Structure 1
Amino acid sequence: MECQLTITRTEQKKEKPASDKLGFGVHFTDHMFTMDYTEGKGWHDPQIVPYSPLTLDPAAMVFHYGQAVFEGLKAYRNQEGKVRLFRPDQNFKRMNRSLERMSMPLIDEEFMVEALKQLVAVDKEWIPTESGQSLYIRPFVIATEPCFGVRASHTYKLVIVLSPVGAYYAGGMKPVKIYVENNYVRAVRGGTGNAKVAGNYAGGLKAQVEAKEKGYEQVLWLDGVENKYIEEVGSMNVFFKVKGEVWTPALNGSILEGITRDSTIQLLKDWGIPVVEKRISMEDLHTAYVNGELEEAFGTGTAAVISPVGDLNWNGHQMIINGEKTGELTTRLYDEMTGIQYGEREDKFGWSVKVTE
């Protein structure tokens, strides 16, 4: 791989959106990172260039056979103006796992972290500064070879785009209502559920639409074989506090290995709170609820960090958790995680990567 990164700065900068109009993933910065792959040559021509549309052949294999993987992480600016990334090495490690699953070429993880740091530094003025705001980062790889043969592509493109985003909890952290999905499944073991593959998300949209029609914000996914064991909530990993112990579904080949999930587990263990990774059936969870033992529930992911769950509907059984109020542990995890991300709390794990001093 040719590791000489070139930078071409834009001659016409965009107008930046107002801080109260950011939304999520609707505005994009002045620059992007691109790199190409050619079989026999490897990854080549890494560059930071002005943000612009991609030009692809209509027969590009990504459109027909779905070779597409992506990642999601954020850059944070604290009150002192210092910019940090949160565990970017883990995002590129996971990207390599996704690439391998989809028969796509692996990347140099160390190089990609350094390239990302340079891209964020180039567009650092786009990082919003108000509480809870950040710069969302979307790396992705797509198959670009024009061919209708059902096989892996011989050429690929890696792109990273940046988007300033507003605070996820602009009006304060509020527990969400979740519908337990029984008709559709997100993934099965042996499929692509443990990879961050574009098609996984398209396949989940139908259930999400139907849940919203019922008055719920998201769905709780069950396993695709027995339809009884909990896997994920929406596009997040999920945790339950039961009698002082925290349960989360064990990684089983169909659950995405979330970086926020792993960070949450490490924090809980550091605090001396028991964490159990295991198969969790809806029957067991409902029994815990009936017995008054289900104390808190929350999802973990890049966008929300920690998302409290206040209402679970399973086959008509409504479970109101903690009086539909955000739990003490949920709040503590959110405050600690975001504190580390913004550089405002001690980072004993070495998760925070400085982009600028």
Structure 2
Amino acid sequence: MGNHTTTAVPAPGVFLKDELEERGWSQRDLAYVLGCPEQAVNMIISGKRGISPEMAKALGKAFDVPAEFFVNLQTAHDLSKASDPDPGVECRAMLQRHFPIREMIKRGWLEDTDSEMLSVQVARFFKVEKLDQVPHLRYAAKKTHYDETPPVQLAWLFRVRQVAESITVPAYSERKLREAVEQLRRLIAAPEETRQVARLLGECGVRFVIVESLPSAKIDGVCLWLDKQSPVIGMSMSRDRIDNFWFVLRHEIEHVLQKHGQKTECLDVELSEDGAANANEPDDERIANTAAADFCVPTAPMNDFIARVRPFFSEQRVVLFAQRMNVHPGLVVGQIQRRTNNHAFLKRYQVKVRQFVVPAATVDGFGQVAPVNL
């Protein structure tokens, strides 16, 4: 049995005994009133038996009080006798209330251990000394920009950073990255060529990490810097389509080229892949969106094609236009789908590329756990 911290509450029988003395009744008298054996009354008064809901109703009628009075007496007594719960219950509940702790354990980001060690792990995961310094768990500590990032997205972001720290690459070169963009553009017509992305980025000094998204996170990618010379591109690949992959990748590359995300990570959620301007969009996102859209399908020819062909987007015209642009038809199809709001149009061309990207990249998720130590 565990320790008891609740003040002991007398058994309901103590109240019954006092009440009988007050009324001048014997136990046999009460048994007669209740219409039950005298032994049943004796066992309640001696504390050997609790008060059942049925007995509570009967006693309520006998003493002219609500039945809940006796129910509450019994409940208070039972609670005072109950063992204290595992102290970890409160801690685990607090952590799970704010972060997807169970999912993080399932994914191998944290070990399933006692609450004290779990608290230490969570603090290390978020790179703070104490649990009460973790974003969203703070009480009186100063807030940071992380407090405005939903917890499930924040957990994903920190996992990307952890995995990236385990990768060794040459010194970052902006010149090489710009040259790599041209190389990548020549690969865009063949889905299987996506396997070269991790290598090309690594040769430029860019750490490329794929971390499977957490449920409901809706993250596409992130650009962050371990320091001012160490850029990281993280992707979730939650939308496994060739057009989404190339758009998100080029979007994050532009963030790196523009040195976005050095102070605050550029966390991209549900990116719009047509490069359409949004009045509320920050300048860095507008710049990255424009570069990504033009990379996937050059904007001017795409606009011209839409204007000439709409509403008769035949498969033959789409394929011929894609060949002329030296892109996979899936990229053109994606543009048409979004501009016409017809997401079923030639959907078979939006082929999956995760199968090619993952084997050649540093990956956490999709059945793999990156070797990261807390």
Which of structures 1 and 2 has the bigger CA Rg?
2
The structure in which a higher percent of residues are helix is 2
TM-score (norm 2): 0.27
Structure scoring higher RCO (CA < 8 A, sep ≥ 6) equals: 1
The structure in which a higher percent of residues are strand is 1
